[in-house]
Structure 1
Amino acid sequence: MIASTAELIAVLRRYNPWWSGGRFADLPPWRRAAFKEISDWMQAPPAGRALLLSGARQIGKTTLFLQSIDQLIQQGVPPTNILYATFDHPLLKLIGLDGLLQLWREFEPGRDGIEYLFLDEIQATKDWQVWLKHQVDFEKRRRIAVTGSATPLETEHLESGVGRWHTVRLATLSFYEYLQIRQDPIPELPAVSSLIELFDRPANWFARIGEEARPLTGLFHEYLLRGGFPQSSLVSSISMAQKLLREDIVDKVLKRDMTALFGVRRVLELEQTFLYLCLHDGGLLDIQALCGNLEVKKATANNFIDLLEATHLIYRLRPFGYGKEILRGRVKVYLADAAIAPGVMLKGKELLEDTVQLGQAVETAFFKHVFSRYYQRSMAFSYWRGKKDQEVDIIADTGKRLVPFEVKYRGKNVEITELKGLIQFCQERKVNRGYVITKDAADFGVLQLPGGEQARALKIPAPLACYWLGRSELDDLQGLEA
């Protein structure tokens, strides 16, 4: 053994100060929406499963674990029945999972009641799938929560863990969470539990709330530049926030995690592929153009894109439809956070003067809000292209109905003549309600669409839409089409 037992237990005690009556003094007072899901799991795990907290690097997974541990201790759980460890630490990685538990119980005897294990970066350990399966099946007094690179955790050796864990997917901060964390002064706005309820509001309500919400626009633009990663969102300087984003998140994923997790050796080509996606954020991916520009083979480029999605740097949307419609169609790629592209491209507030790139950033931010708000409901997301290249940016399929979203982030009011794609989709699919994401605070209200009295679109400013989607998630209210 490289390290002595004394050295190992010293490391473990530093990660678990509550064993000796201490606690983590620097825990933030704010809690993310996902905290409630973790809290519910601690009280009553669904079907006795472990919990997988998935999400990008530096997104706040460890903070959520430590806040959950703090809550358990306040609820009277014996401190020595709670173990936290991260396998980012080389010594803990060296002793492995069974060695960790043996060390824990050798120096901190258990008490009556449930044992709670919070394990960061579990994929760094050997045979973690089999270990976790056995723990869930045979150690009924233990509740185990893990983090790591979510796609390997969810798909690698899937047969070893089917039905053994419940996934909580963590996105970057919503606009509402960002405002709460920064404690920026914001207008008092009514709570909205469901965007669909706005279809019944009177015209004067839209005018009044739109004007009251106008101060959100400047804050929303800063959010697009700073990003939704907790550390970068709290930095006062936008340039410093973007530097942190590049160095602590993007660079470490591309240069460290890709090598450690997936054995990537052609890091330069991977970086170039990611840079290409930053330049085409929110657009249809032309894989032939990517391969031609970067001089990489198609199989290599597709593999890189798979890995970028696996490490939560991008989302992919497939075209709406079935069979050949999907197989032949190009995918649409969104970055995990709207601030990634300007951060990587070294674009500050000049982004706000570029109508096209600003619109792409808003579309990326809005998609993240919709996706993170409703993924637990097993919604499917896609985009749609019709005749004459008419398009709808985002289609959410609830299983019972289709919900189309079109992002039109520009200075002037959006007119019905600009919504040909949305109208065509609604008519072909017999959809009565759609949403148009606008820019100006006054461009807010219900628009009648061709096709009968029930065919309507809600125009809603992007800052308000993201604010309400994030707020309803945090308040645990009912969602879009409840």
Structure 2
Amino acid sequence: MEVSSEELAAVLGRFNPWWRGQPLPELPPWRRAAWRELQIWLKKPPAPRAVLLSGARQVGKTTLLLQAVAALLADGVPAANILYATFDHPLLKLAGIDAVLEAWRQREPRAEGPEYLFLDEAQFIRGWGTWIKLEVDFTRDRRIVFTGSAMPLAVTDPESAVGRWHAIRLSTLSFYEYLQIKKVVLPSLPRLRSLAELFDWEPGELRDVQELAEPYVAHFHEYLMRGGFPQTAQVESITSVQRLLREDIIDKVLKRDMTALFGVRRVLDLEQTFLYLCLRDGGLLDMPDLCGNLEVKRPTAQHFIELLEATHLIYRLQPFGYGKDVLRGKYKIYLADAALAPAVMLKGKGLLDDPTGLGIATETAVFKHLYARYYSMQVRFTYWRGKKDREVDLIAELGGMLIPFEVKYRAQHTGLRELKGLLEFCAEKHVERGYVVTKSPSDLGLLPGTAEGAAKIMRVPAPLLCYWMGESETQPSQQTP
């Protein structure tokens, strides 16, 4: 079935009002941390590559594209040289990318200067990887930005990706971004580019921040329940927020995207696999237990796990180490956002009355903030288990540097006795500093009582860590954790 150029031009005209001299739909004034990096690649690309904005549904990819369009128009780029097209639209998906570009140029003659192509939900373009490879290789006067909430990179020819696009991963909103969107007015905290700076602070500076941080705790708990999705961050009812998240995840990703893009037919088994992981957020993945509980074979379960990772719903962490120990070890699973598990289970505000659940949600949020802040620096995240099942929740590996994080989000005081795994890892691996993420703002500071020559352990309340990591993500810094 063919789609006429007239039909395509009519659809494109609705998506590109600037061709008619009309303004864009009202866009939010806030901008994601990825905005700065995207602007660099649009205005002065470091290399001839396309840009891939990847991330889960509803994290703000389309808004970021339209904000980029508005910035180009404000800079004087001719309107006819800017195309926005979403291949989620049935006619554009059916016609294909070449027909869309032809209809664009039939309607809008090209002006002088580069062309800017913003291709939303590009995973629905047939042969998208090959098309982008050819464009990057042979069309030097086009700058292409494309998005994907379920980009099946794993099934694409790996050679087509080499040097052809620069990936910007858009995580869910950081705690810092969430507060900006909500327009919450709180006491200003000192800016921190790296957590390592805390080791040089004077006791008076630490005490001042402890007092300033108190009002942040309640908003952090709200953030854990609402999640880092721009659409739901501003919805008043927690119940409505969780229902919206459940509909977007279950109905759109698991039931639609998985079928359309990956050919999944056993949608119920996939849904049950995701629910199983929601119940074990932050835990080790026991494949025999999963297969036994859900009555699926191991290759099927393994395939489902890989698909959930490809659609940005989960992260997988390998155990610390190399070689056979890693191959024999279990993955640790984190959901893409701390609010997903409570939303899927429709817990409402019950999370606040569940100390265990609140601790798990906090650990998930901490990991996501660290990952989002440092993934572009090629930081490898793992977890560690030692003797007597002692463990460290997160290990950041950057070159030869190891930086451990242990999350203890609870009302009880955290001392050396509760940190045997962290201390054992630091001693065994000759680590000089580590972090324990706590609940009370009054915890901020060095952990007392460590022996001479042992690693220095900095206690950092979770609301502060997540705020600082989100704020520093917006700054051009290459600081280590």
Q: Which amino acid aligns with 1:376?
A: S
Aligned runs of 1:37-436 on 2, under 5 Å? Answer: 37-149=37-149, 151-153=151-153, 156-436=156-436
**More moved, 368-377 vs 179-188:** 179-188
Equivalent residues of 1:449, 1:457 under 8 A apart: no
Q: Which amino acid aligns with 2:21?
A: G
- Cα distance between partner residues in 1 of 2:348 and 2:14: 40
- Cα distance between partner residues in 1 of 2:25 and 2:15: 13
Equivalent residues of 1:226, 1:241 under 8 A apart: yes
- Cα distance between partner residues in 2 of 1:42 and 1:70: 13
Equivalent residues of 2:427, 2:454 under 8 A apart: no
**More moved, 350-359 vs 152-161:** 152-161
1:290-343 CA distance string (max 9 Å, x none): 111111111111111110001000000010001111011110000000000000
Which sections of structure 2, spanning at least 5 residues, go unmatched? none
Deviation at 1:452, TM superposition (A): 3.4
- Cα distance between partner residues in 2 of 1:329 and 1:298: 16
Deviation at 1:251, TM superposition (A): 2.5
- Cα distance between partner residues in 1 of 2:151 and 2:323: 25
Deviation at 1:400, TM superposition (A): 2.9
Equivalent residues of 1:46, 1:166 under 8 A apart: no
Equivalent residues of 2:87, 2:124 under 8 A apart: yes
Deviation at 1:444, TM superposition (A): 1.1
- Cα distance between partner residues in 2 of 1:412 and 1:446: 17
Q: Which amino acid aligns with 2:350?
A: E
Which sections of structure 1, spanning at least 5 residues, go unmatched? none
- Cα distance between partner residues in 2 of 1:305 and 1:135: 33
Equivalent residues of 2:2, 2:95 under 8 A apart: no
Q: Could you say what secondary structure the match of 1:46 adopts?
A: coil
Deviation at 1:479, TM superposition (A): 3.2
Deviation at 1:185, TM superposition (A): 2.2
- Cα distance between partner residues in 1 of 2:375 and 2:181: 23
Matching residue of 1:471: 471
Q: Could you say what secondary structure the match of 1:35 adopts?
A: helix
Task: Work out the percentage of aligned pairs sharing the same amino acid.
Answer: 60
Equivalent residues of 1:413, 1:440 under 8 A apart: no
Matching residue of 1:12: 12
- Cα distance between partner residues in 2 of 1:212 and 1:466: 15
Equivalent residues of 2:54, 2:168 under 8 A apart: yes
Q: Could you say what secondary structure the match of 2:447 adopts?
A: strand
Deviation at 1:98, TM superposition (A): 1.0
- Cα distance between partner residues in 2 of 1:14 and 1:208: 53
Deviation at 1:184, TM superposition (A): 1.6
- Cα distance between partner residues in 1 of 2:25 and 2:472: 29
- Cα distance between partner residues in 2 of 1:66 and 1:173: 18
| CA RMSD, Structure 1 to Structure 2 (Å) | 1.4
Q: Could you say what secondary structure the match of 1:48 adopts?
A: coil
**More moved, 359-368 vs 443-452:** 443-452
Deviation at 1:173, TM superposition (A): 0.1
Matching residue of 2:33: 33
Equivalent residues of 2:3, 2:95 under 8 A apart: no
Deviation at 1:160, TM superposition (A): 2.1
Deviation at 1:109, TM superposition (A): 0.5
- Cα distance between partner residues in 2 of 1:22 and 1:248: 31
Q: Which amino acid aligns with 2:271?
A: E
Structure 1 runs of 4+ aligned residues shifted over 6 Å read none
Equivalent residues of 1:53, 1:61 under 8 A apart: yes
**More moved, 406-415 vs 359-368:** 406-415
Matching residue of 1:461: 461
Equivalent residues of 1:448, 1:456 under 8 A apart: no
Q: Which amino acid aligns with 1:372?
A: A
Q: Which amino acid aligns with 1:366?
A: V
Count of aligned residue pairs for this structure pair: 481
